[in-house]
Structure 1
């Protein structure tokens, strides 16, 4: 597959109901190896993967590809196609071992963690040996050990790989180039995401500087044209005054006539200079109009009008245990969540983090509207229902929700006209709805999953300043280190059960 290629030529695509296409005249060639697809939520990253693999047909343009093309979705609701065939295939042993896939997983899909489901999706896709493989957030839900296994498996892929991920390290390690999407633009840049975004920032700063320089030049030319226009008007008035004067009888040499001719000539010259200055100003303005300067939106999630009233304790729970299935249990000590607690719930996949969160939420003595809950996954049906509920909100509340969405890096208008919001946009919606109602507690299960890179940075900054309690479940150590001060760590004991240990972060 060394010579495999994928080309999109003059592709245009718009979802039903959109006022403007996501892509217009998109032409890009993807070489063998991995290409990162980077952009804000709602920019069309998932749509591009589906168009590239044939899951969606463009309204115009052509997609050139040969051989099998597969798209691996963000969502993990359903088992992947051919999962049972893969589990029992004689040639799947290496992949099953590498990604630690259990032979009983097809039968107990409903009990698998989302991290285990994600590994299964990717393993089946690699086993089918596609020429084009498009992965949508492959590191979602995956712990650090599984992430290393995933990286090794993806590194050996020899076809054309398209990778949408919020994981900077994965994009930097795997991708020699990145396609940066920001409709209607799509720009291929060399290097991993760090290098590509750095170059984009430099180019944007250069464009802004050039635009500002041309703006100042245009203003100077317009000011000079105005100054000369005033002078020309004054001279024209003087010329008209001289015309009205009678030529004295003794002026036999026509001196007055010559002076009038001089005034008239100067008037015409001044008029030409005014026209020249105005023309130069127009040319500079036209040059400035050709420079694309990105609009940057205000960030910061805590919108004006939100109120927060943290209590001393939002939860006190005596020691106990929870069943995990298969005869295993999760044992926990006395637990408490204070009004301003910053708790990180950590542990490998399958130890019961989500089970514990569900149990804690059921024990809270708080009004539902004062708890922001963002689960690992939200189904497509729930996502549609959430967006429709937001559209029905009173105007002032919907406006505050949309302001928060904008500050998390998504465009409200594009979101409201979509039929099915992206998983990242759904997470932002859930968070925004809760924030504007003034929560006492924020609970997020894998908060960076599905989020775009600008949104993650904004979320980090916002949660670091959070005036209420929070419980964050994540494998992203750098994200947690900037926000939390207490670790609830799940570990496996010698009997195979899970145990929760509480540690203060130093």
Structure 2
């Protein structure tokens, strides 16, 4: 059953076509992702499908009696309404009954409750009421009497998401639903959408979400649309095949165009009608041959200043606001090459920790000591304020005219902008013409070209398309300094971090050695062990009244368990062994370089690198010995 179809849809801005001749359909049960780089028109396309803006050409048809729910990027509701009023502001009669029921409970109105109970039974609204509480709780919406206008941007997005999920539409259209959600909530949303019968069209850059939830991909690319029947992994494979075929077709067209161009030039100005078909064909050929495929060729490896032996030391730091303590007695000593993820529910203090490390906040207790050579690059969730009438390239040139890469090569900022997916024509656009994702990409670039050696990224993946994420990941994989990342993008964390600060609540932060998937496996393992222990625990008889409390039997762990390393320690030991092997291999190559000779600058550089490796090896070997003794 076809729910929605679009025929020959086109949209232009000024003299530029954003997309044209788009044909698209979604049927009952489809879970489709709309993907494409920033600026290709994904949000515009969704707004056309939902009737928020008209298409310049073509027609959208929605099947009669189909209810469509739409979550846009910037939801707007009456700011004077309480959250509960916003959530239940639809025409769904079941929602209206539950709204009255919740209101009567809050006001302890027994007479109203008695009347509403009949309506709750009549509409079979009890399941809906239970689902309402589950959705609101999972999305962290607890104060439903708060005014919508007092909420933060992230809270507003979660309220709008709750509203559209509870409306239970036949076709659900979501624009970046995972932005502003913590990792646990993203995983819950995946499960919710997978177990529901809702037909789905979603824009998201979360690659795990695309793989586990979606079964079709619709890609907007250079004004055209391409459909793939499969998840994200299948899409990557088929897209690569398509691009190879297109590249071969363009090369063939260019070769043919050279021959046709020679023929055109030889013809007299007054051409006969017999040659007109060939001239028309030449124009079509020219359009195909002059297509450009924007491709990143430069390896992103911006040079950084060297870190000294002392980086940052956190000594029993604590921080709270009012009566709430967000961070309690946390200590950590940063080492060269640290790549740390930071995870935890919203509001637990992740950004507070980052602000204390950079010196923007001072701890209530404890001490933070920063090495003299540390140069921070701090990417925040808040947008940079740009001059809307300034061009992209001029803003970057205000920071630097040229940039030195880690290889020693010097490149222009225009070259670097191309590597960050700003085409030569896009570099001369005014800031006012940039999409939200393009602004984020520019904000990142302005931080990176300042050559920091300690990089802190607070939710860098919000509003970035998948191509931009791939570029950023490649840069960060080559980044030689310290790296801290707060992100809800699990794929991003898995590729880039080696251990994770986990905000467990009540001010406690634990340090887990491994990436995010390994952390979740460990947490699942611990949860399974707790359930198994609870199920197998013998029921102890009631203690005698006269027996002292200390006499109550306490099951003791087996002696052998005390001599085993914990899961975290095992993972740390494995990582140390891998690191030591890698360092030894690098050092061997550097020694060979020294023995083979070179320039004075090269010899000095290699000697310095060997010295740094020796320091790192010593630290890691001491820790490995400590763990092996415990084992």
TM-score under structure 1 normalisation? 0.72
Q: Deviations over 1:31-50 (max 9, x none)?
A: 33322101112211122122
1:85-484 equivalences under 5 Å are 85=85, 86=87, 89=99, 90=101, 91-98=128-135, 100=138, 101-105=140-144, 107=146, 118-155=157-194, 158=197, 160-212=199-251, 290=288, 295-300=293-298, 302=300, 307-323=304-320, 327-338=324-335, 340-361=337-358, 362=360, 371-378=376-383, 385=387, 388=390, 390=392, 392-393=394-395, 395=397, 403-411=415-423, 413-414=425-426, 416-417=429-430, 419=432, 421-484=434-497
Which SS does the other structure have where 1:319 is aligned?
Answer: strand
When residues 488 and 383 of structure 1 are mapped into structure 2, their CA distance, relative to the original with a 3 A threshold, is: same
- Cα drift, residue 429 of structure 1: 1.0
Instruction: Name the CA distance, whole Å, in 2 between partners of 1:291 and 1:323.
Output: 62
Please, what TM-score do these two structures have when normalized by structure 2?
Answer: 0.59
Does the CA contact (< 8 Å) of 2:216 and 2:231 recur in 1?
yes
Name the CA shift for 1:294/1:412 in 2 (closer, same or farther; >3 Å).
Answer: closer
Answer with 199-208 or 419-428: which moved more.
419-428
Deviation at 1:129, TM superposition (A): 3.7
| Structure 1 residues 12 and 216: CA distance shift in structure 2, 3 A | closer
Residue 6 of structure 2 is matched in structure 1 by 8
What SS does structure 2 have at the residue aligned with 1:14? strand
CA contact (8 A) 1:303 1:436 kept: no
- Gapped regions of structure 2 (runs ≥ 5): 89-97, 102-127, 264-276, 362-367, 402-411, 515-574, 576-631
**Aligned partner of residue 432 in structure 2, secondary structure:** coil
Distance 1:458 1:291, change over 3 A: same
Counterparts of 1:217 and 1:182, CA distance in 2: 25
Displacement of 1:329: 3.0
Say how many residue pairs are matched: 440
Q: Deviations over 1:101-159 (max 9, x none)?
A: 44415528799887765543311112234454321221224344322321233235555
In structure 2, C-alpha distance between the alignment counterparts of 1:481 and 1:384, rounded to whole Å: 32
**SS of residue matched to 1:439:** coil
CA distance in 1, matches of 2:8, 2:281: 31
Equivalent residue runs for 1:35-50 within 5 Å = 35-50=32-47
**Could you report, residue by residue, the CA deviation over 1:271-320 in whole angstroms, capped at 9, with x for unpaired residues?**
xxxxxxxx99x99997696479651422557477x553434445333322
User: C-alpha distance in 1, partners of 2:176/2:207?
Assistant: 11
- In the other structure, the counterpart of 1:499 is 508
Q: Does 1:28 pair with 2:24?
A: yes
1:453-506 CA-to-partner distances (Å, cap 9, x unmatched) read 1222221121011133221112334433432334222112xxxx1311234443
Native 8 Å contact 1:53 1:132 kept in 2: no
Cα contact 1:444–1:472 (8 A) shared by 2: yes
Question: Residue in 1 aligned with 2:106?
Answer: none
| Contact in 1 for aligned 2:499/2:513 (Cα 8 Å) | yes
Q: Find the aligned partners of 1:175 and 1:117 in 2 and give their Cα distance.
A: 25
* In structure 1, distance between residues paired with 2:72 and 2:284: 44
Distance in 1 between residues matched to 2:147 and 2:354, nearest whole Å: 21
Distance 1:4 1:222, change over 3 A: closer
- CA shift for structure 1 position 28: 2.2
- In structure 2, what is the Cα distance between the partners aligned to 1:285 and 1:390? 33
Query: Which residue in the other structure is 2:603 paired with?
Result: none
Does residue 1:74 correspond to 2:73, yes or no? yes
Structure ID, larger Rg: 1
Aligned to 1:462, the other structure's residue is in SS state: helix
Residues 219 and 24 from structure 1, CA distance in 2 versus in 1: closer, same or farther, beyond 3 angstroms? closer
Partners of 1:386 and 1:502 in 2: CA distance: 42
Contact 1:118-1:142 at 8 Å conserved across structures? no
Q: CA deviation at 1:218?
A: 8.2
Once the 2 structures are TM-superposed, how far is the Cα of residue 353 of structure 1 from its aligned partner? 1.2
Q: Secondary structure at the match of 2:243?
A: helix
Cα distance in 2 for residues equivalent to 1:340 and 1:332 = 24
Gap change, CA 1:128 and 1:477, over 3 Å in 2: closer
| C-alpha separation in 1, matches of 2:221 and 2:389 | 22
**Which of 45, 61, 64 pairs up with 2:61?**
64
Distance 1:423 1:221, change over 3 A: closer
Is residue 35–residue 175 contact of structure 1 (8 Å, CA) maintained in 2?
A: yes
**CA apart distance, 1:442:** 1.8
What is the root-mean-square deviation of aligned Cα atoms in Å? Answer: 4.3
How far apart are residue 344 of structure 1 and its match?
1.7
Q: Determine if contact 1:319/1:334 at 8 Å carries over to the other structure.
A: yes
